[in-house]
Amino acid sequence: MQATRILAIRHGETAWNVDTRIQGQLDIGLNDTGVWQAQRVGQALRDEDIHAIYSSDLGRAFQTAHAIAQADTRTQPVPLIPTAALRERHFGHLQGHTWAAIEADWPADAKLWRTRDPHWSPLGGESLLVLRERIARCVDALASQHLGEQIVLVAHGGVMDVLYRLATQQDIQAPRTWHLGNAAINRLLWTPQGLSLVGWGDVSHFERTSRDESSV
């Protein structure tokens, strides 16, 4: 069977994750916990047979990807490739605001967000449909180059959510019942027919629970 194994990793924790502040495509770096998480996931993956690491070019993801690349034990360095198509959903005018502020100042937007309206997009941002299409096309393009190999994708909570839904054929509006843990290890299999789920949300490489976040 022609297949590509994928290790999908959400970035480590940021101060804005802790504050429930929407990052979207703003470039926020890891906090101290996030740096530790990135190092731990790097150590967990250091003996994996990895042919390439593709990362969102936003700092929090690229820092995490760099830690994974640095921990690799092979003599020949694994290529680390910044990939803008793996960025988080663009949240437009809501970026930089906390969930509480959005509920108070933009209640109509907050309702559309909570109900996962697939066509709604924040002013200047992306809809869920646009996000899903972007991620699906990106993964197809990258995975098709690595048949018979394993790659790492380092990205964001919204991206991980799309990958899980594609792999399990969950509707875009289905309530989420799965975690999007910072620096958790998620395993997928890609074939020309699409994605399938191998394993999800592995945080056994941590000694304490990482922070989960619903949207960013």
The mean pLDDT of the chain is 94
With contact defined as beta carbons under 8 Å apart, do 211 and 17 qualify?
A: yes
Annotated catalytic, 156? Answer: no
CA atoms lying within 13 Å on the CB side of residue 118: 10
Mean pLDDT to the nearest integer, 50-76: 93
Provide the sign of the torsion angle of the four alpha carbons 116, 56, 24, 71, taken in this order. positive
pLDDT at position 207: 76
pLDDT at position 74: 72
Catalytic pick from 13, 48, 51, 88?
88
With contact defined as beta carbons under 8 Å apart, do 92 and 130 qualify?
A: no
The DSSP letter of residue 54 is E
Residue-wise pLDDT for 143-154, tens only, equals 999 999 999 999
Residue-wise pLDDT for 26-54, tens only, equals 999 999 999 999 999 999 999 999 999 99
Find, among 185, 187, 172, 178, the residue nearest to 212 by Cα: 178
pLDDT at position 216: 53
Residue-wise pLDDT for 112-135, tens only, equals 999 999 999 999 999 999 999 999
Residue-wise pLDDT for 179-205, tens only, equals 999 999 999 999 999 999 999 999 999
- How far, CA to CA in Å, does 86 sit from each of 55, 92, 155, 163? 7, 17, 6, 11
What distance in Å separates the CA atoms of residue 26 and residue 142, rounded to the nearest whole number? 24
With contact defined as beta carbons under 8 Å apart, do 187 and 127 qualify?
A: no
Catalytic pick from 11, 90, 156, 179?
11
pLDDT at position 210: 43
Read off the pTM: 0.93
Annotated catalytic, 205? Answer: no
